[in-house]
Amino acid sequence: MLAHYIDLIAKVVEIIGVLIMFFGLFFAFYRGIRLTNGFNHDTYVEIRQTVGKSILLGLEVLIAADIMATVVTEPTLRGVLVLGFIVLIRTFLSLSLQVELEGRFPWQKEKSPQGTQRVNQKLYNDNFDKSNSDLDP
């Protein structure tokens, strides 16, 4: 009886994942055109990033649904292999999309503007000190 409800919940979560991607596509077009006041290169970039983010979120929800489905399936070797393969493909797609959108892997540190600003300030100070030392007698 409990397995039936868990299976039903997993199906609902799968539907939610698909709906996130579906409505994310329409939201991306709406947002892209509204933010950029027309259709130009910036619109394309905005739409592409928003669609990518909605696909990422949808894939993560679908992976959660797959994990829920493992609770109620009989542990046959074929079932586990198929499910593992599906999760592997979805995880690879999520990783690829995230790298494409953010330009870095999730485990890489984000380049903070504050850290870059500190390095630039240090370089400026070092160069300023060197140029002033040439003026000293």
Residues comprising the chain, all counted: 137
Residue 104 within a domain: yes
Give the list of residues 6+ apart from residue 15 with CB closer than 8 angstroms, or none: none
Residue type present at position 112: S
Q: Is residue 115 part of a domain?
A: no
Is 133 within a domain? no
- Structural domain of 64: 2-110
Residue 137 belongs to some domain of the structure: no
Name the CA radius of gyration of the chain, rounded: 24
Residue 117 lies in a domain: no
Number of domains in the chain: 1
Per-residue pLDDT of 61-107, as tens digits, reads: 998 888 888 877 777 888 778 888 888 888 888 888 888 877 777 77
Q: pTM score, two decimals? A: 0.65
120 domain-assigned: no
